A and B are shown apart, each in its own frame.
Chain A
Amino acid sequence: MSHHSGFELLDGRSGPGAVRAAKTFSALAALTCGVAAAALLSLDDPHLRRVGWGWLTNAGICAVALTALLLRRRWSATQAQAVSLMLIGTTLVAQVHADWISALSSKRFAAFEGFKAVALAVATLGPFRPALSYGVVGACAVAPVLLYEVMPAQMRANLPVEAPWTTLVYPLLATGILMYRVRALRMEGEVMRAHARREQLERFAKVSLAYRDLVNSPLQTIELLCAVLRQEYPESKELLDRLRRCASRLAAMGEMLSQTEHQVVWTSKEEAFDAARVIADYHRAAGC
């Protein structure tokens, strides 16, 4: 089944959708990590400068991945998903590094931002199938809490007062977006399947019509000639009756085919159509 809608293109289960999601994620991650790195490297705090180097490294990894995604044409869905997962992993590792090192600094900083951003990016870009997406969003909810729990008390004191619990709002929001997205994709799939079934039925109706168009005139001719011959050669009545019954059976078959003819959508150019060509086109499309 071919897919043309924007929804489908953004669905990570398909090859093009997964590649597009991976490209978008790597571009966004490279850009945001690069900006964060530039801001932090300009500070004179050694801890925050170390955080800046961490973000710069991740920006470099994301930029390399983006280049590879752009240069290599043929990416399967699995490969693109693996790239997305790897970049999410490096980003979250960079975030853990950033939170840990920033907590050593006396400067104020926004904690766990990467977890929030990754949760929302996964929900909106949809690079994976639903189960994996829910898993990544769940990890973005659990990891900040775990990180908080393993931090020494004096480092925790340097975290913003609302951390880590307000961070959970974002994975919750992402879960809602994901649920909506999964439902929308399922509905779109059903609509597309119904559309494909309708198209198939319409094609069948048209080819049935074409077969009937080719067969009905010869059947009418047989019917008329039987009547003429019965009149002229009464002694052949039995044979002609058999012939007529055969023609009637073929006509009945045509009637059966006519059940679908109301499915044909007529255009003004089709008042007269080439039945043989319609049949040939149908079989060509069916790969016969």
Chain B
Amino acid sequence: MNGRLLLLDDDADLRFALSDFIEMMSDRQCLAVASFDEMVAAESEVLGCSAALLDVNLGAGKPTGIDAYRWLVSHHFAGRLYFFAGHARVHPLLAEIEKLGAVQVLPKPLDTSKLMEVLTCPTTQASSS
């Protein structure tokens, strides 16, 4: 699996650790952004990524990972999409998206071997419909 990986998470430590881990374990580059706005600002780089890992809760009152998902799909993001959810496995919207099979939800904290397994194995493709 090649190409950059988009990381969207509001936790700076986690962004740093995840980038470090992925770059060390898979020789892939990461594009780490802290918010929806940062992601939109880096549109051309973002759309060039081959996969995206989106945190669901990006802070109270702020656009969510689900908003980011919708934005990516509406901009014909061609890579695979994953949600990284700290708490919201039962969120109705996530459950709905998961049911469609368009995106995989990874629960936090996820074992590193499982994380690598997911990020390196081809899975379902994000739908643009």
Q: How far is the CA of A218 from the CA of B86 in the complex (A)?
A: 10
Contacts of B55 in A (CB 8 A): 217
Residue in A210, A231, A273 whose Cβ sees the most chain B Cβ within 10 Å: A273
Interface residue ranges of A217-254 to B (CB < 8 Å): 217-228, 231, 247, 251, 254
CB of A272 within 8 A of CB of B110, answer no
The A/B interface has a contact count, at CB < 8 Å, of 94
> How near does chain B come to A218, taking the closest CB pair, in angstroms?
7
Q: How far is the CA of A176 from the CA of B79 in the complex (A)?
A: 72
Contacts of B89 in A (CB 8 A): 258, 261
Contacts of A251 in B (CB 8 A): 109
Given A219-B109, A223-B109: A213 and B87 interface contact (C-beta under 8 Å): yes
Q: At the interface, yes or no: B13 with Cβ under 8 Å from chain A?
A: yes
Interface residue ranges of B52-107 to A (CB < 8 Å): 55-64, 66, 86-93
Contacts of A254 in B (CB 8 A): 109
CB of A224 within 8 A of CB of B20, answer yes
Given A217-B9, A273-B57: A224 and B87 interface contact (C-beta under 8 Å): no
Contacts of A217 in B (CB 8 A): 9, 11, 13-14, 55, 86, 108
Q: How far is the CA of A275 from the CA of B58 in the complex (A)?
A: 11
Q: At the interface, yes or no: A209 with Cβ under 8 Å from chain B?
A: yes
Q: How far is the CA of A267 from the CA of B95 in the complex (A)?
A: 14
> How near does chain A come to B78, taking the closest CB pair, in angstroms?
25
Cβ-closest chain B residue relative to A220: B109
> How near does chain B come to A277, taking the closest CB pair, in angstroms?
7
Closest 8 A/B residue pairs (Cβ): A274-B60, A216-B86, A224-B17, A220-B109, A216-B108, A219-B109, A213-B87, A227-B112
- CB pairs A–B below 8 angstroms (23 shown): A212-B86, A213-B87, A216-B86, A216-B108, A217-B9, A217-B11, A217-B55, A218-B11, A218-B14, A224-B14, A225-B17, A227-B25, A228-B20, A261-B90, A264-B90, A266-B90, A266-B92, A271-B57, A272-B59, A272-B60, A272-B61, A273-B60, A275-B57
